[in-house]
Structure 1
Amino acid sequence: MSFPSTRYRTANIDGLDVFYREAGDRSNPTLLLLHGFPSSSHMFRNLINSLSDSFHLVAPDHIGFGRSSMPSVNQFTYSFDRLTEVTERLIAHLDLDRFAIYIHDYGAPIGLRIASSSPERITAIITQSGNAYTEGFTPFWDILFAHAKDRAAHEDAVRQYLTADKTHWQYTHGVPADRLNRIAPEAWLLDQAGLDRNGNDAIQLQLFWDYQFNLDSYPKFQEYFRTHQPPLLVAWGKNDEIFGAAGAEAYRRDLPGGEFHLLDTGHFALETHGEEISVYIREFMRQLPGS
């Protein structure tokens, strides 16, 4: 019996350590897996194992997350533009020419910046609560957008998003009772351990504040969708109260030929519906031109 082998690697990018997981044969189609808050490439561990027989997979940890470097806010500009630059340089370091992107949460503004800037490189987009439309924002965001307008007045309130209770909530809210036992406890505990590191709170508060500027890029993302019509697979938790199902449905406006799956789960759909998503990806990628 053979088992898929994930390699755990670190690249030096602009003097920073960028940790990434890599698996599969480089001659196979490449999937670049971009995680969200408050997670890391660990969220893709099972998907990587499931797909590495047929695909080449690369999953980096963003700066400030997981095993990548965590410089202080005085040493590094924590913005989504800057996180995108680091990801772009990792792509160049790994000599990735054409690839599909899997976007989740924070991974969406990073991945869609890359896609809209160089459409010729993107073979497909897979989105799991990877938002690109204002319709996707839920009341979860009210305090975050208030914080964006007045950081001092709302900092204490947004710090609740850094607590263990809120991290656990992100993993379990919207998950049916019969699927709760699929959520690996080490997943949310690992995320919380990352948040609890000394200085990480300042990093996350800065990214909370910077998130507002992603909305300025939404028209560019949507124009990219309309003009280039990248193949789209949506695998989204219909009960997600961070990025709501309306955000998934909004993709139909610009990419009506996409494949849509609204799953009976919450924000971290891979934890509860990883097997289903893996099957969707295999079938979806098999149908792409040149596959």
Structure 2
Amino acid sequence: MSKSTRTLGLAAAAAGMVAMTPASASPTPISAPTVPAVRTLYKSETVKGLKVFYREAGDPALPTIVLLHGFPTSSHMYRDLIPALAGRFHVIAPDYIGFGQSDAPAASEFTYSFDNLTAHVTGLLDQLHLTSYVLYMQDYGGPVGFRIFAQRPSQVKGLVIQNANAYLDGVGDMPKQVFLPLWEKRDATTEAAARTFLKPETTRFQYTFGARDPEAISPDNWTIDQALLDRPGTDAYQLDLLANYKTNVALYDSWHAAFRKYQPKTLIVWGKNDPFFIPAGAEAFKRDLPKAKLVWLDGGHFALEENVGLVAHEIDLAFAGE
């Protein structure tokens, strides 16, 4: 068959198809992509004169869970957990002053302490008119959340503890070697050792060491965290917070007393391969909270990266409907 014959045949077939199509027929509509019912919103409130950024998702009529992030990250660490919870919970995830998208005044303009970080979180909760919530805490989230619990035990309906210490049992050898000397005497030598926690290799190490599959951990994590750590002046206030961490240790006994007195419903989800906050710290909570449920996660300090589904499931079992 010649090329011209084939062309004529195709044209005739096309004409026949057009002829078989009713003139009144309209094109089949293409369905719009499904939009998720729950969205994460990115908001901020001015608290004590400073902008506090937070992520929010879920129906405010549902039980509220407040996600308190660790060092050196921000509410970004909860980006996958938020949508996993938002169908059953109202979720609030703030950035502390000096972290993430919140204001970060210079150390000379703001006293960076865990008391002040906590005051801005509680200020946000007050402005959002939240009076009943579960606290999820990781790393620095522990001293912030345990302060909130000690101050407002009637408002805290439960605790989710993920690699967040309230016992010296949980402090690994690596942080002990750096921070015990800093807490005893802050000088150029002890500050130099503490600065290793602000370096890119340490930030990456916190995410990858102990991970089930390090290649499954997005490098966006440490890239974003390090970009914020490297902002001019950030090292000064981060050193202030590392030194101020000793005030948390000084409060451990009072937190233990509050645990024993109020017995909050508690879920412990702990990355068992964490070299910073070691497994003994998870087990220590059972001394004062004997009814706490302990779930080991196959991961390191930021074990949530590979265990979002399991953690969300355990939170649903423990707190949905509270």
The interval holding the TM-score normalised by the smaller chain is over 0.9
Would you say the 8 A contact 1:19–1:67 is kept in 2? yes
Deviations 1:67-104 (A, max 9, x none): 00000111001000111111111110110010000001
**Aligned counterpart for 2:191 among listed residues 155, 163, 167:** 155
Deviations 1:89-141 (A, max 9, x none): 11101100100000010110111011011110011000001111110111122
Corresponding residue of 2:318: 284
Deviations 1:147-168 (A, max 9, x none): 1222212111211111110000
Deviations 1:184-232 (A, max 9, x none): 1111111111101011000110001000111111111111111110000
Corresponding residue of 1:67: 101
Q: Secondary structure at the match of 1:230?
A: coil
In 1, distance between residues paired with 2:191 and 2:160?
A: 33
Which runs of structure 2 are paired with 1:230-249 in the superposition (5 Å)?
230-249=264-283
Which runs of structure 2 are paired with 1:34-53 in the superposition (5 Å)?
34-53=68-87
Corresponding residue of 2:284: 250
In 2, distance between residues paired with 1:233 and 1:67?
A: 29
Corresponding residue of 1:32: 66
In 2, distance between residues paired with 1:251 and 1:157?
A: 30
In 2, distance between residues paired with 1:71 and 1:267?
A: 28
TM-score normalised by L of structure 1 = 0.96
Corresponding residue of 2:21: none
Q: Secondary structure at the match of 1:31?
A: strand
Q: What is the identity percentage for the equivalent residue pairs of Structure 1 and Structure 2?
A: 43
Q: Secondary structure at the match of 1:119?
A: coil
**Aligned counterpart for 2:210 among listed residues 158, 174, 191:** 174
In 1, distance between residues paired with 2:251 and 2:183?
A: 16
**Aligned counterpart for 2:260 among listed residues 211, 226, 229:** 226
Residue 88 of structure 2 is aligned to residue 88 of structure 1: no
Residue 170 of structure 2 is aligned to residue 146 of structure 1: no
Corresponding residue of 1:110: 144
Corresponding residue of 1:209: 243
Q: Secondary structure at the match of 2:294?
A: strand
Corresponding residue of 2:6: none
In 2, distance between residues paired with 1:85 and 1:63?
A: 10
Would you say the 8 A contact 1:25–1:55 is kept in 2? yes
Q: Secondary structure at the match of 2:251?
A: helix
Q: CA RMSD of the aligned region, Å?
A: 1.0
Question: What stretches of structure 1 of length at least 5 have no aligned partner?
Answer: none
Of the structure 1 ranges 180-189 and 106-115, higher mean CA displacement relative to structure 2 is found in 180-189
Count of matched residue positions in the alignment of Structure 1 and Structure 2: 286
Q: Secondary structure at the match of 2:235?
A: helix
Instruction: Give the Å deviation of 1:144.
Output: 1.5
Would you say the 8 A contact 1:180–1:272 is kept in 2? no
**AA of the residue aligned to 1:26:** P
TM-score normalised by L of structure 2 = 0.87
Q: Which has the larger radius of gyration?
A: 2
Corresponding residue of 2:112: 78
Instruction: Give the Å deviation of 1:254.
Output: 0.7
